[in-house]
Amino acid sequence: MSQALVAGVVVGGIYGLMALGIVLVYKGARVLHFGQGEIGTLALFVAWWVVDERQGLGQPWLLGAAAAVVAAAAVSLVFERLVVARMVEASRLAIGVATVGLLLFLFSLELKLWGASPKYLAPPIEGLGPRVAGLHVSPTQVLALVSAAAIGLGLTAFLRRTDFGLGVLGAAQDPAAARLVGVPLARVSVFTWVVAGVLAAVAALLVEPTIGVFTAGFMTRFFVFALAAALIGGLTSLPGAFAGGIVVGILDQTVQYWSLGVPVPGLSVLAVFALILLVLLVRPQGLLGRAAA
Amino acid sequence: MRPARRQVVVGAVVIAATVLPPLVSRVAPGFLDELLALRLAQAAAFAAMALSLNLLMGYAGQISLGHGALLAVGAYTSGILTGRFGLPFVAGLAAAAVLGGAVAFVVGLPALRLRGLYLAITTLGLLLVMQESILQIPWLSRGSAGVALPRPVAGDFVFTRNADFLALVLVVVIVLWLVDANVTRTRLGRAFRGLREDEQVAASRGVDVARHKLLAFLLSGAMAGVAGCLHGHLLRFVDSRTYDLNLSLLLVAVVVIGGLGSRLGVVLAGVGFGLLPEILRAITPAAEGWDHLLGAALLIVAMARHPEGVAGAITEARHAKAARQARAGVAESAPTEIPRLPELPRPAGAADRPAVAPGEALLEVRDLTVRFGGLTAVDHASISVPAGRIVGLIGPNGAGKTTLFNAVGGFVRTASGTVHLGGQRIDHLPPHERAARGLGRTFQRVGLARDLSVRENLLLSQHAICRYSAVAALGFLPGAARTEAEAGERADLAIAAIGFERFADMPAKHLSGGMQRIVEMACALVTAPELLLLDEPSAGMAPGAVENLAIRLRDLRDALGRTLLLVEHNVPLVLDVCDEIWVLHAGRVIAHGTPDEISRDPTVVEAYLGRNVPAEPVS
């Protein structure tokens, strides 16, 4: 049980990272970015291609991770410039459907380039790791937890402490006023979309070792979990989204733990889906977000 | 098309679909071999899936990213019933439709509270749950192996050959097409499209928004169940990966590319994308998978350039051109002359409306309070409107006039107070039932379904008096056909009254602002409402037109004894046209009287009119 809690906090931190991306884009553009998860999967394929010794280049993991992040940033940048930036006048719904198009595009591209067979990306650090207070904590889990916390805190600090970060938050609240005080809205938009893509890539790199293998569509599954996390924060609260990630992670792992041997598979997915419905129907403004007008 | 001719065409198409594939495959197998028949049947099934999603997304404007879940419900249901329990194909098909509809209905429940992209979340979540949990239940799929679906049997005949099954698929697709066509030509389709454009406007025209949202999900789900069933029996075996996210999203792309809401476009796009993999493979094996990339790219481009879809963009351009040409024929695009407004008698479907003698109170608002959070927008306000009079409601900005309108119409929650219409209490009723009791209204921003034509808007406005069931609509049964004909006549009368014949089939959004206001008035009047609420009818009108408006409003009162309540900023117009006036200030009623009394009342002058107001009303 405690083992499930540890695993829950670890994957929860990863969901939280993706949820931060969802919230950033939602605050900035009032849009749900459905392509975000698949940007992570694409990054994972890039990392696999760089790292894998037999079918890829056989380079070190860190180089693969760097390439993954660069790829995610590049895809996000291109999508923002070519599509989002040209849809300033469009309805938010239309932009949302365009991100669905991005999701389908990346999904199909992965299938086309790398096929449907599962891929295995070696974890950054091998081994079982130390026992802490009687619990197994693998090096990968430690790495995931530390990176998620560091990135989450770092991003929040950047947004709250720097002029550009405050500009991002200000633009989210009132674009017209932000423009008047000189916030570069175009750059802010690029920033939010690119950061969302990079967060998805980092989350993908961190979550893959906990599963072991991945295929096309891998991260869109976790995108749904991250959506649940972001919804708990009302889609507008950054700390709420991260905390929501931990909640979803613990729910996911404990239900998996308790439902071993139950004849209905995938109960944790069912539980997360129920959580989404519950939050949407009972408290659409989230547990921590502010009520929308 | 005339009904008789339509029947001949439909009959000919059905016979061709039934006879041709089996015949050609036997007489000239070179033209239709088994593989080609399989591909054609797949394409037809794909078109059926696209029709189902089009009903939900294109007509009702509800997004589904997880339509594959409903297809899987259809395929699994029929597979288990026919394959394992040996029931006939027809039973499997019917059960697939019923269960598909039921699951979609449940999925649609959140749509009553949520809009837009939130539905994308829940439908995406449903697909994930379906794939990872429900479809993996060992009893359903016997492990993760999936479900086998036997080909249908009719007597001694088994649909083993793909060409024979193709005929069956084609016939079912034709039936779906006909049902879909009946949706769009009846109150059902108009209600779907009305709520897609503006739920408040649709409700004020008598559409039960919640009911029709769920109906859209139900119908779309039933069609998806049928499509999944056909597709499954064609493949003979499906598993949890058959109806995955990729397929669901490709369907979204197909519906957008085909043109949201365009039946023909969506079917053509469905057939095209159904056959595309085969065509690409024939060109070069390396082209495999390009169909999905193409679909995705077109979806993104369509959204970035023309959110109404590629085919939609073409129709759009045609309409815009036609609108320019038609408007060029009219002397001015912003008319100063307001045409006579339609004065239609009470419709037959309005028998249970309250009857009130002229001069007695038709609308009675007592002690009404509306709060938004800490703000009290309307504060214990009481007003009454006598039948057969024109009553004005004035007050400075933020006085609570529109909020009071919305409370009477049923669009805001009231904290206290009662509303009676013709002696019947209506404050507990939802907006569409208030509309059915004879409450009509116009909106400050023009309350029209912008994408619907003028004529369709006038038909939508008669939703409450078109009384036939959803079943009658789907089958276009005689009752529905008769009511539709009557509604069409009323719409044409209204169009003739305002002289808009040449704009009748044009989307409302292509008309000028002033013309849209006239159409909106016609829409509000086409059901001959007992009480008409007008929210700033003169907004955006030229001064000449405002003078004219006063004449038209008096016409309404004098010709058929209509009762009007208007919120208006144009004080001279109100003083000129109204029989009595209520003045709101900070949510409270501060004065009531004839225009003469109001313009002399010192509290009103101080609170609202300003000090230098002429004592005589300006006309």
Quick: pLDDT tens for B39-68. 999 999 999 999 999 999 999 999 999 999
| Ranges A84-88, B178-182, B543-547, B582-586, most confident | B178-182
Q: Nearest CA to CA, how far is A163 from chain B (Å)?
A: 31
In a domain, A63, yes or no: yes
In a domain, A293, yes or no: no
State the amino acid at position A63 in one-letter form: L
- Per-residue confidence (pLDDT) for residue B127, from 0 to 100: 95
- Residue A276 near chain B (CB below 8 Å): yes
CB A202 within 8 A of CB A147: yes
Q: Nearest CA to CA, how far is B119 from chain A (Å)?
A: 10
Report how many helices (DSSP H) and strands (DSSP E) chain B contains, helices first: 24, 14
CB contacts of A100 in chain B (<8 Å) are 65, 120, 249, 252, 299
- Per-residue confidence (pLDDT) for residue B102, from 0 to 100: 97
Contact A105 B250 (CB under 8 A): no
CB B246 within 8 A of CB B93: no
CATH number assigned to the domain comprising residue B362:
3.40.50.300
**Structural domain ending residue among the three candidates B244, B264, B290:** B244
Contact B252 A265 (CB under 8 A): no
Between B240 and B96, the more confident residue is: B96
In a domain, A178, yes or no: yes
At CB < 8 Å, which residues of chain B contact A?
63, 65, 110, 113-114, 116-118, 120-122, 124-126, 128-129, 132-134, 136-139, 244-246, 249-250, 252-253, 256, 288-290, 292-293, 295-297, 299-300, 303-304, 307
Q: Nearest CA to CA, how far is B405 from chain A (Å)?
A: 20
Find the range with the poorest average confidence among A108-112, B367-371, B569-573, B581-585: B569-573
Mutate one of A25, A273, A278 to test the B interface: name it (highest B CB count within 10 A). A273
Contact B246 A111 (CB under 8 A): yes
Contact B137 A281 (CB under 8 A): no
In a domain, A289, yes or no: no
Between A147 and B96, the more confident residue is: B96
**Percent share of chain B, pLDDT over 70:** 93
The verdict on B229 and B361 lying in the same domain is no
H-state helical runs in A212-237: 218-232
Contact A273 B129 (CB under 8 A): yes
The verdict on B364 and B223 lying in the same domain is no
* Band (A86; pLDDT cuts 50, 70, 90): confident
| B156 CB-contact burial (10 Å; exposed 0-12 / middle 13-18 / buried 19+) | exposed
CB A44 within 8 A of CB A206: no
In a domain, A206, yes or no: yes
CB contacts of A265 in chain B (<8 Å) are 132-133, 136-137
* Band (A237; pLDDT cuts 50, 70, 90): confident
CB contacts of B113 in chain A (<8 Å) are 280-281, 284
H-state helical runs in B526-581: 543-560, 571-577
Q: Nearest CA to CA, how far is A89 from chain B (Å)?
A: 10
CB contacts of B128 in chain A (<8 Å) are 221, 224, 269, 273
The yes-or-no verdict on residue A290 having pLDDT over 70 is no
Q: Angle A36-51/A185-211 helices, nearest 10 degrees?
A: 60
The yes-or-no verdict on residue A83 having pLDDT over 80 is yes
- Per-residue confidence (pLDDT) for residue B11, from 0 to 100: 93
Which of A95, A266, A281 comes nearest B132 by C-beta?
Answer: A266
Which chain B residue shows the shortest CA-CA distance from A99?
B300
- The answer to ipTM > 0.95 is no
CB contacts of A94 in chain B (<8 Å) are 303, 307
B575-595: string of b/e by CB count within 10 Å (b at 16+)?
bbbbebbbbbbebbbbbbeeb
The yes-or-no verdict on residue B194 having pLDDT over 90 is yes
- H or E segment and range at residue B589: strand B588-593
CB B96 within 8 A of CB B157: no
Q: Which distant-in-sequence residues (6+ apart) come within 8 Å of B114 by Cβ?
A: A280, A281, A284, B122
- Residue A96 near chain B (CB below 8 Å): yes
In a domain, A251, yes or no: yes
Mutate one of B121, B139, B239, B241 to test the A interface: name it (highest A CB count within 10 A). B121
Euclidean distance between CA atoms B199 and B208, whole angstroms:
9
Which chain A residue shows the shortest CA-CA distance from B57?
A97
| Ranges A130-144, A156-170, B192-206, most confident | B192-206
At B401-432, the pLDDT tens digits run 999 999 999 999 999 999 999 889 999 999 99
Which chain B residue shows the shortest CA-CA distance from A222?
B128
* Band (B111; pLDDT cuts 50, 70, 90): confident
Mutate one of B124, B141, B248, B250 to test the A interface: name it (highest A CB count within 10 A). B124
Q: Nearest CA to CA, how far is A62 from chain B (Å)?
A: 31
Contact A263 B304 (CB under 8 A): no
Q: Angle A267-282/A238-258 helices, nearest 10 degrees?
A: 140
CATH number assigned to the domain comprising residue A140:
1.10.3470.10
Contact B124 A31 (CB under 8 A): no
Contact B137 A31 (CB under 8 A): no
Residue with tokens 């009047």: B525
Which chain B residue shows the shortest CA-CA distance from A91?
B307
The yes-or-no verdict on residue B365 having pLDDT over 90 is yes
Q: Which of A59, A107, A138 is nearest to A215 (CA)?
A: A107
H-state helical runs in B30-88: 34-53, 67-78
Which of B113, B134, B293 comes nearest A281 by C-beta?
Answer: B113
Other CB atoms within 10 Å distance of the CB of residue B566: 26
The yes-or-no verdict on residue B334 having pLDDT over 50 is no
Which of A87, A112, A276 comes nearest B122 by C-beta?
Answer: A276
**Structural domain ending residue among the three candidates B244, B273, B290:** B244
Q: Supply the range of the domain harboring residue B384.
A: 348-609
What is the tally of structural domains in chain A?
Answer: 1
| B557 CB-contact burial (10 Å; exposed 0-12 / middle 13-18 / buried 19+) | middle
Contact B128 A98 (CB under 8 A): no
Find the range with the poorest average confidence among A127-131, B212-216, B561-565: A127-131
Torsion region of B333: left, alpha or beta (phi above 0 gives left; psi -120 to 50 gives alpha):
alpha
CB B221 within 8 A of CB B68: no
Mutate one of B133, B239, B257 to test the A interface: name it (highest A CB count within 10 A). B133
Other CB atoms within 10 Å distance of the CB of residue B565: 25
At A130-143, the pLDDT tens digits run 666 666 677 778 88
Find the range with the poorest average confidence among A139-148, B125-134, B386-395, B449-458: A139-148
The yes-or-no verdict on residue A120 having pLDDT over 60 is yes
What is the tally of structural domains in chain B?
Answer: 2
In a domain, A288, yes or no: no
CB A245 within 8 A of CB A19: yes
The yes-or-no verdict on residue B619 having pLDDT over 60 is no
* Band (B434; pLDDT cuts 50, 70, 90): very high
CB contacts of B66 in chain A (<8 Å) are none
Which of A32, A102, A220 comes nearest B300 by C-beta?
Answer: A102
CB contacts of B292 in chain A (<8 Å) are 104, 107-108, 111-112
- Per-residue confidence (pLDDT) for residue B527, from 0 to 100: 87
- Per-residue confidence (pLDDT) for residue B512, from 0 to 100: 84
In a domain, B159, yes or no: yes
The verdict on B227 and B365 lying in the same domain is no
Length of chain B: 619
CB contacts of B136 in chain A (<8 Å) are 265-266
Between B42 and A290, the more confident residue is: B42
CB contacts of A102 in chain B (<8 Å) are 296, 300
3-state secondary structure of B58: helix
Euclidean distance between CA atoms A34 and B241, whole angstroms:
21
At B220-256, the pLDDT tens digits run 999 999 999 999 999 999 998 899 999 999 999 999 9
Contact A280 B250 (CB under 8 A): no
**For chain B, how long is the longest CA-to-CA vector?**
95
Please provide the distance, in angstroms rounded to a whole number, between the alpha carbons at the two ends of chain B: 51
Contact B296 A101 (CB under 8 A): yes
Mutate one of A100, A114, A269, A275 to test the B interface: name it (highest B CB count within 10 A). A100
In a domain, B106, yes or no: yes
* Band (B349; pLDDT cuts 50, 70, 90): low
**For chain A, how long is the longest CA-to-CA vector?**
60
Euclidean distance between CA atoms B75 and B150, whole angstroms:
11
In a domain, A62, yes or no: yes
The two three-digit tokens of residue B397, written as one number? 């900005």
Contact B126 A100 (CB under 8 A): no
- Per-residue confidence (pLDDT) for residue A22, from 0 to 100: 94
- Residue A285 near chain B (CB below 8 Å): no
**Structural domain ending residue among the three candidates B187, B221, B244:** B244
Q: Which of B238, B564, B613, B237 is nearest to B389 (CA)?
A: B564
What number is the average pLDDT over the span B298-312? 74
- Per-residue confidence (pLDDT) for residue B331, from 0 to 100: 44
CB contacts of B293 in chain A (<8 Å) are 105, 108-109, 112
Contact A269 B114 (CB under 8 A): no
Q: Which of B483, B474, B485, B484 is nearest to B178 (CA)?
A: B474
Q: Supply the range of the domain harboring residue A274.
A: 2-118+133-282
